[in-house]
Structure 1
Amino acid sequence: MRTGSMKEVIDEKQKRAARYAKAMGHPVRMYILDLLSRQTCCYSGDLSNELPIAKSTLSQHLKELKTAGLIQGEIEAPRIKYCINEKNWAEAKQLFKSFFKL
Protein backbone atom coordinates (compact mmCIF):
# COMPACT_ATOMS: atom_id res chain seq x y z
CA MET A 1 0.00 0.00 0.00
CA ARG A 2 1.39 3.39 -1.01
CA THR A 3 1.33 6.37 1.26
CA GLY A 4 1.95 10.01 0.46
CA SER A 5 0.96 12.24 -2.39
CA MET A 6 2.45 13.11 -5.77
CA LYS A 7 3.76 16.32 -4.20
CA GLU A 8 5.94 14.21 -1.92
CA VAL A 9 7.20 11.97 -4.72
CA ILE A 10 8.05 14.47 -7.46
CA ASP A 11 10.92 16.83 -6.70
CA GLU A 12 11.70 20.27 -8.14
CA LYS A 13 14.45 18.97 -10.41
CA GLN A 14 12.04 16.50 -11.99
CA LYS A 15 9.48 19.25 -12.52
CA ARG A 16 12.02 21.53 -14.19
CA ALA A 17 13.37 18.73 -16.38
CA ALA A 18 9.83 17.83 -17.46
CA ARG A 19 9.09 21.46 -18.34
CA TYR A 20 12.26 21.71 -20.44
CA ALA A 21 11.49 18.36 -22.09
CA LYS A 22 7.95 19.46 -22.93
CA ALA A 23 9.24 22.64 -24.55
CA MET A 24 11.78 20.63 -26.53
CA GLY A 25 9.12 18.12 -27.63
CA HIS A 26 8.67 19.45 -31.16
CA PRO A 27 11.16 19.23 -34.07
CA VAL A 28 10.78 22.95 -34.91
CA ARG A 29 11.66 23.90 -31.34
CA MET A 30 14.66 21.58 -31.42
CA TYR A 31 15.77 23.28 -34.65
CA ILE A 32 15.40 26.72 -33.04
CA LEU A 33 17.39 25.64 -29.98
CA ASP A 34 20.09 24.09 -32.14
CA LEU A 35 20.37 27.24 -34.22
CA LEU A 36 20.43 29.58 -31.22
CA SER A 37 22.92 27.44 -29.32
CA ARG A 38 25.41 27.83 -32.17
CA GLN A 39 25.23 31.62 -32.42
CA THR A 40 24.96 34.62 -30.16
CA CYS A 41 21.38 35.62 -31.01
CA CYS A 42 18.89 35.61 -33.85
CA TYR A 43 16.07 37.91 -34.89
CA SER A 44 12.57 36.51 -35.32
CA GLY A 45 12.56 37.68 -38.94
CA ASP A 46 15.70 35.65 -39.63
CA LEU A 47 14.03 32.60 -38.12
CA SER A 48 11.02 33.20 -40.39
CA ASN A 49 13.37 33.06 -43.38
CA GLU A 50 14.97 29.83 -42.10
CA LEU A 51 11.78 27.91 -41.42
CA PRO A 52 9.00 27.19 -43.93
CA ILE A 53 6.22 27.82 -41.40
CA ALA A 54 3.74 30.64 -40.82
CA LYS A 55 4.96 33.51 -38.66
CA SER A 56 2.12 32.85 -36.22
CA THR A 57 3.25 29.22 -35.86
CA LEU A 58 6.84 30.33 -35.32
CA SER A 59 5.63 32.79 -32.72
CA GLN A 60 3.88 29.99 -30.81
CA HIS A 61 7.03 27.86 -30.82
CA LEU A 62 9.13 30.78 -29.60
CA LYS A 63 6.56 31.50 -26.89
CA GLU A 64 6.73 27.90 -25.65
CA LEU A 65 10.54 27.99 -25.49
CA LYS A 66 10.49 31.36 -23.77
CA THR A 67 7.85 30.28 -21.24
CA ALA A 68 10.00 27.26 -20.36
CA GLY A 69 12.94 29.62 -19.87
CA LEU A 70 15.14 28.05 -22.54
CA ILE A 71 15.32 31.23 -24.61
CA GLN A 72 14.91 34.91 -23.94
CA GLY A 73 13.62 37.64 -26.20
CA GLU A 74 14.56 41.27 -26.34
CA ILE A 75 12.54 43.82 -28.28
CA GLU A 76 14.62 45.91 -30.67
CA ALA A 77 11.77 47.61 -32.50
CA PRO A 78 10.50 46.59 -34.93
CA ARG A 79 12.14 43.20 -34.39
CA ILE A 80 12.64 40.79 -31.51
CA LYS A 81 16.06 39.34 -30.83
CA TYR A 82 16.10 35.81 -29.37
CA CYS A 83 18.99 34.19 -27.55
CA ILE A 84 19.55 31.06 -25.51
CA ASN A 85 18.98 31.64 -21.80
CA GLU A 86 22.46 30.47 -20.82
CA LYS A 87 21.63 29.75 -17.16
CA ASN A 88 18.55 27.63 -17.90
CA TRP A 89 20.17 25.99 -20.92
CA ALA A 90 23.04 24.84 -18.69
CA GLU A 91 20.57 23.64 -16.07
CA ALA A 92 18.55 21.69 -18.66
CA LYS A 93 21.70 20.00 -19.96
CA GLN A 94 22.75 19.05 -16.43
CA LEU A 95 19.30 17.75 -15.50
CA PHE A 96 19.11 15.57 -18.60
CA LYS A 97 22.69 14.38 -18.15
CA SER A 98 21.92 13.34 -14.56
CA PHE A 99 18.68 11.68 -15.62
CA PHE A 100 20.28 9.59 -18.35
CA LYS A 101 23.02 8.39 -15.98
CA LEU A 102 20.37 6.52 -13.97
Structure 2
Amino acid sequence: MIETKERNLSPDKLEKAAFILKTVAHPVRLAVINLLDINQQMSVNQICEALACEQSLISHHLTNMKIKGLLKADKQGVQVFYSLKEKDLVKLLDCMENCNCNM
Protein backbone atom coordinates (compact mmCIF):
# COMPACT_ATOMS: atom_id res chain seq x y z
CA MET A 1 0.00 0.00 0.00
CA ILE A 2 1.31 3.43 -0.94
CA GLU A 3 1.02 6.07 1.72
CA THR A 4 0.31 9.63 0.70
CA LYS A 5 0.31 12.84 2.65
CA GLU A 6 -3.22 14.09 3.04
CA ARG A 7 -3.73 17.62 1.81
CA ASN A 8 -6.83 19.66 1.34
CA LEU A 9 -6.18 20.43 -2.33
CA SER A 10 -9.50 20.71 -4.10
CA PRO A 11 -9.60 20.98 -7.89
CA ASP A 12 -10.36 24.71 -7.51
CA LYS A 13 -7.37 25.23 -5.23
CA LEU A 14 -5.10 23.34 -7.64
CA GLU A 15 -6.40 25.43 -10.54
CA LYS A 16 -5.71 28.68 -8.66
CA ALA A 17 -2.22 27.49 -7.68
CA ALA A 18 -1.42 26.61 -11.30
CA PHE A 19 -2.70 30.03 -12.44
CA ILE A 20 -0.48 31.84 -9.92
CA LEU A 21 2.57 29.70 -10.68
CA LYS A 22 2.18 30.31 -14.43
CA THR A 23 1.82 34.03 -13.79
CA VAL A 24 5.00 34.35 -11.72
CA ALA A 25 7.08 31.80 -13.66
CA HIS A 26 9.72 34.26 -14.82
CA PRO A 27 12.88 35.46 -13.03
CA VAL A 28 11.98 39.13 -13.48
CA ARG A 29 8.50 38.61 -12.04
CA LEU A 30 9.91 36.74 -9.06
CA ALA A 31 12.46 39.52 -8.56
CA VAL A 32 9.63 42.10 -8.62
CA ILE A 33 7.75 40.14 -5.95
CA ASN A 34 10.90 40.04 -3.84
CA LEU A 35 11.47 43.80 -4.24
CA LEU A 36 7.87 44.63 -3.36
CA ASP A 37 8.06 42.42 -0.30
CA ILE A 38 11.12 44.32 0.91
CA ASN A 39 10.00 47.84 -0.10
CA GLN A 40 6.19 47.57 0.20
CA GLN A 41 5.62 49.98 -2.71
CA MET A 42 7.79 51.04 -5.64
CA SER A 43 7.47 53.07 -8.82
CA VAL A 44 8.20 51.58 -12.23
CA ASN A 45 11.40 53.62 -12.38
CA GLN A 46 12.56 52.38 -8.98
CA ILE A 47 11.92 48.77 -10.01
CA CYS A 48 13.78 49.31 -13.31
CA GLU A 49 16.76 50.77 -11.48
CA ALA A 50 16.83 48.03 -8.85
CA LEU A 51 16.69 45.24 -11.43
CA ALA A 52 18.78 46.97 -14.10
CA CYS A 53 16.10 46.29 -16.71
CA GLU A 54 14.49 48.41 -19.39
CA GLN A 55 11.21 50.12 -18.58
CA SER A 56 9.33 48.41 -21.40
CA LEU A 57 10.24 44.97 -20.01
CA ILE A 58 9.34 45.87 -16.42
CA SER A 59 6.09 47.56 -17.48
CA HIS A 60 5.10 44.46 -19.43
CA HIS A 61 5.62 42.20 -16.41
CA LEU A 62 3.94 44.63 -13.98
CA THR A 63 0.89 44.99 -16.24
CA ASN A 64 0.58 41.24 -16.60
CA MET A 65 0.74 40.64 -12.86
CA LYS A 66 -1.69 43.50 -12.18
CA ILE A 67 -4.24 42.22 -14.72
CA LYS A 68 -4.05 38.78 -13.13
CA GLY A 69 -4.71 40.23 -9.67
CA LEU A 70 -1.33 39.72 -8.02
CA LEU A 71 -0.29 43.38 -7.84
CA LYS A 72 -2.08 46.64 -7.27
CA ALA A 73 -1.19 49.98 -8.80
CA ASP A 74 -1.61 53.39 -7.26
CA LYS A 75 -1.23 56.36 -9.58
CA GLN A 76 0.28 59.40 -7.90
CA GLY A 77 0.60 62.24 -10.38
CA VAL A 78 2.43 60.90 -13.40
CA GLN A 79 4.00 57.98 -11.54
CA VAL A 80 2.47 54.59 -10.85
CA PHE A 81 3.45 52.81 -7.66
CA TYR A 82 3.07 49.04 -7.41
CA SER A 83 2.57 46.88 -4.35
CA LEU A 84 1.66 43.27 -3.64
CA LYS A 85 -2.06 42.62 -3.67
CA GLU A 86 -1.51 38.97 -2.78
CA LYS A 87 0.87 39.18 0.18
CA ASP A 88 1.18 35.39 0.39
CA LEU A 89 3.19 35.40 -2.85
CA VAL A 90 6.31 35.85 -0.76
CA LYS A 91 5.76 32.35 0.62
CA LEU A 92 6.73 31.10 -2.84
CA LEU A 93 10.08 32.87 -2.47
CA ASP A 94 10.55 31.36 0.99
CA CYS A 95 9.76 27.93 -0.41
CA MET A 96 12.26 28.35 -3.26
CA GLU A 97 14.92 29.60 -0.87
CA ASN A 98 14.51 26.50 1.31
CA CYS A 99 14.03 24.00 -1.52
CA ASN A 100 16.84 21.57 -2.32
CA CYS A 101 15.27 20.26 -5.52
CA ASN A 102 18.45 20.03 -7.60
CA MET A 103 18.65 23.80 -7.74
Give the TM-score normalised by structure 1.
0.70
Q: CA deviation at 1:48?
A: 1.6
Query: Which letter does structure 2 place at the counterpart of 1:62?
Result: L
Deviations 1:71-98 (A, max 9, x none): 111111210010011xx3337849xx8x
SS of the residue aligned with 1:36?
helix
Aligned counterpart, 1:32: 32
Structure 2: stretches of 5+ with no match in the other structure:
1-9, 96-103
SS of the residue aligned with 1:60?
helix
Query: Which letter does structure 1 place at the counterpart of 2:88?
Result: A
> What percentage of residue pairs aligned between the two structures are identical?
24
Aligned counterpart, 1:64: 64
- Aligned pair count? 84
Deviations 1:7-49 (A, max 9, x none): xxx8221221111101110000000000101122111111121
SS of the residue aligned with 1:33?
helix
Alpha-carbon distance in structure 2 between the residues aligned to 1:45 and 1:15:
33
Aligned counterpart, 1:44: 44
Aligned counterpart, 2:20: 20
Task: Determine if contact 1:36/1:42 at 8 Å carries over to the other structure.
Answer: yes
Structure 1: stretches of 5+ with no match in the other structure:
1-9, 98-102
Which of residues 78, 87, 90 is equivalent to 1:89? 87
Q: CA deviation at 1:53?
A: 2.2
SS of the residue aligned with 1:38?
helix
Aligned residues: CA RMSD: 2.3
Task: Determine if contact 1:71/1:84 at 8 Å carries over to the other structure.
Answer: yes
Aligned counterpart, 2:5: none
Alpha-carbon distance in structure 2 between the residues aligned to 1:48 and 1:92:
20
Query: Which letter does structure 2 place at the counterpart of 1:31?
Result: A
